[in-house]
Each structure stands twice: as structure tokens, then as C-alpha cells.
Chain A
């Protein structure tokens, strides 16, 4: 497996769940949809998309909690069974092979910034988007914004 040598660790807030990203993310969303606002309790979610098999669980056993999603196809949130902090999600559209890692749970969350801001039609009005990243009112076409290497990784997941 060709990787960039990127490694980052993270975990929940009580220390039961620890994980490691074994590669850099495919693509990182700053998602301003109202569903992500509710789930995070904040103004947006920061989700790093990565192949689930490139996330190594170092300690703890994750609890998978299914919840509804606006697509109607559902989402499952992986949480620490003790402190309930969410570390990543799977969406029905991409299945279990793709993880949306909640970037705030990384020990050094500042290493990963959103590559794109999505659903900015429901962005909180007081928050100013960074000028140097694409932003779209709803979702986007991966072929138009993802780097070629990321598109290839996404395509490989679908095989």
C-alpha cells in the first residue's frame, strides 16, 4: 500500500478509545448542514474521509450508533462506549469502507484543515469561510474538486 507516511493519533475524551490514521485523509469536509450542526453541537462538522482500513483502533471497542440522515439512508456514528464521544461516522452512501473521522478528536487537530466547505446555504451567519478554499451551497461533484490521487482512492473503494 503506497501511503504518504502521514500518521496521526486521536481518541475520545476519557482515553478508552484510541486510534491512529495510517494515511493522510482522502478529502476533508467542513460541513455546515443543520444535521452536522446538531450532531456536533457546533457551527459545522469537520470530517476527514479516509479508507476505514487505514484507521487502526489502538485501544477500546467502538460502539456503533445508527441515526437518521437527510438522505434517508442513515448514518452510523462510532462512539466510545464509556464517554460517548464520537470519533468517526459511516454513511450509507459509501458504506463501512469509508470513514468520516471527526477531526476534533485528533490529538493535533490543527494538522488537518477542511479542503472544502459544503452546505454553506445553512452556514451560521457570523462565521466567515476561509477565502482560500472552495465552498458550495450544497454538495459537490468529486470529479470537479478532488485531487486525482483522492479520486483514485475513492474509485478503489468502490471496487
Chain B
């Protein structure tokens, strides 16, 4: 079984608080232009985790539908007061899988990207860390995810 992992996070105003109760499946650092626009930054850092491993401690995030390049859409979960995003669900994977915004953790250094994706549109001044895989676009999970993450993902989709 996976090691003990627990981390808390929330929005900027304090209304929404959550606890992650297990280590995420995998952490994507996404350099696509859609993630740049959503974050306002050079990339997004999304920790993929089963939605039921995120325990809401306070508040109820509101889901805002936004378009995605796949056409399947994304629902971004935001604090209804300060509008800060805490996680998202993508149409492809459904509501059972959350893409947690790592920057919203109280200790955002608790997680670092396992892979860098869509580096074809990476900001030119951003350098990628050595020792982590990177892909010009997306990747095949079965080639780089740890077996236990693949098993958890399979259980989620079954």
C-alpha cells in the first residue's frame, strides 16, 4: 500500500479548505497555452488524484465550465467568494478524477512535477529540470506512471 501522505490547502480568503488524504497518482506540469491562460503563469502544476481522496474541510467549491482543446470541456472548482481555483475535472476522465492545483496547497513544495508536458509551447525563459521526463505534447501513462498509480487509475475507471 502507499505510504502515508497528507496535505492541506485552500483558497486565498480561507472559505474553502481541503485535505488530500493520499499521495497523488502523478503530477503533471503542463506548459500548454490553455494552462498558461488559466493560471496566468508559464505553466500549470496539476496533481492527479481520485476525487474521493480530497476531503473538504470548509466551504463548497463552485464548478465553472470552461472549454478545452479536446472539445470535452473542463470544470474548474473555485471558491465561491474569492474565485481562486483549487482543482479541476476534465471531460475525458470525469468527476472521479481531480486535477489539484498544487499551488493551492499550504506547503506547495510537498509535491513536485513528475513530468513536463506540452513543452512545445513552453515559455522560452523557463528551463526544465533535469532528471524528469518531458514531452512535446501528451504522453502514455502506462509508459511512465508507477505500477501502483496505474492500478489506482484502473480501479477508478472500472
In the complex, the answer to whether B42 meets A42 with C-beta atoms within 8 Å is: yes
Residues of B within 8 A of A113 (CB): 123-125
Interface membership of B36, Cβ < 8 A:
yes
| Residue from B33, B37, B41, B45 within 8 A of A85 (CB atoms) | B37
The bracket for how many chain B residues form the interface is 35 or more
Nearest CB on A from B158, distance (A): 29
Task: Give min CB distance, A70 to chain B, whole Å.
Answer: 10
Q: What's the minimum C-beta distance from B37 to chain A, rounded to whole angstroms?
A: 5
Q: Are A67 and B84 in contact (CB-based, < 8 A)?
A: yes
- Interface magnitude class on chain A: 35 or more
The listed residue (A38, A43, A87, A105) touching B12 by CB distance below 8 A is: A38
Asked if A126 and B129 make an inter-chain contact with CB atoms under 8 angstroms apart, the answer reads: yes
A127 at the interface (CB under 8 A from B): yes
Tell me how far the C-beta of B35 lies from the nearest C-beta in chain A, rounded to whole angstroms.
8
Q: Is A120 an interface residue (CB 8 A)?
A: no
Q: Per a CB cutoff under 8 Å, which of A41, A77, A125 touches B103?
A: A41
A114: chain B residues within 8 A (beta carbon):
125
- The answer to whether the Cβ of B58 comes within 8 Å of any Cβ in the partner chain is no
- Whether a CB of chain A sits under 8 angstroms from the CB of B89 is no
Cβ of A109 within 8 Å of any chain B Cβ, yes or no, is yes
Chain A: minimal CB distance from B49 (Å): 14
Interface residues of A in 100-131 (CB under 8 A from B): 102-105, 109-110, 113-114, 124-128, 130
Contact of B76 among A40, A84, A102, A103 (CB under 8 A): A84
Complex Cα distance, B37 from A83, in Å, reads: 11
Task: List residues of B (14-44) whose CB comes within 8 Å of A's CBs.
Answer: 33-44
Expressed in whole angstroms, the Cα–Cα distance for A39 and B33 within the complex equals: 18
Among the listed A11, A45, A77, A125, which residue makes an inter-chain contact with B83, where contact means beta carbons less than 8 Å apart? A77
Nearest-neighbor residue (CB-CB) of A100 within chain B: B40
Residue from the list B10, B37, B43 in contact with A12, Cβ < 8 A? B37
In the complex, what distance in Å separates the CA atom of A128 from the CA atom of B132?
13
Q: Is the CB of B41 within 8 A of A42?
A: yes
CB neighbors of B among A61-119 (8 A): 65, 67-68, 77, 79, 83-87, 102-105, 109-110, 113-114
Chain B residues with a Cβ under 8 A of chain A? 9-13, 33-45, 64-67, 76, 78, 82-86, 101-104, 108-109, 112-113, 123-125, 127, 129
Interface positions of A (Cβ within 8 A of B): 11-14, 34-35, 37-46, 65, 67-68, 77, 79, 83-87, 102-105, 109-110, 113-114, 124-128, 130, 133
Q: Can you list 6 A-B pairs with a CB-CB distance of less than 8 A?
A: A34-B108, A41-B44, A42-B44, A68-B12, A86-B83, A130-B127
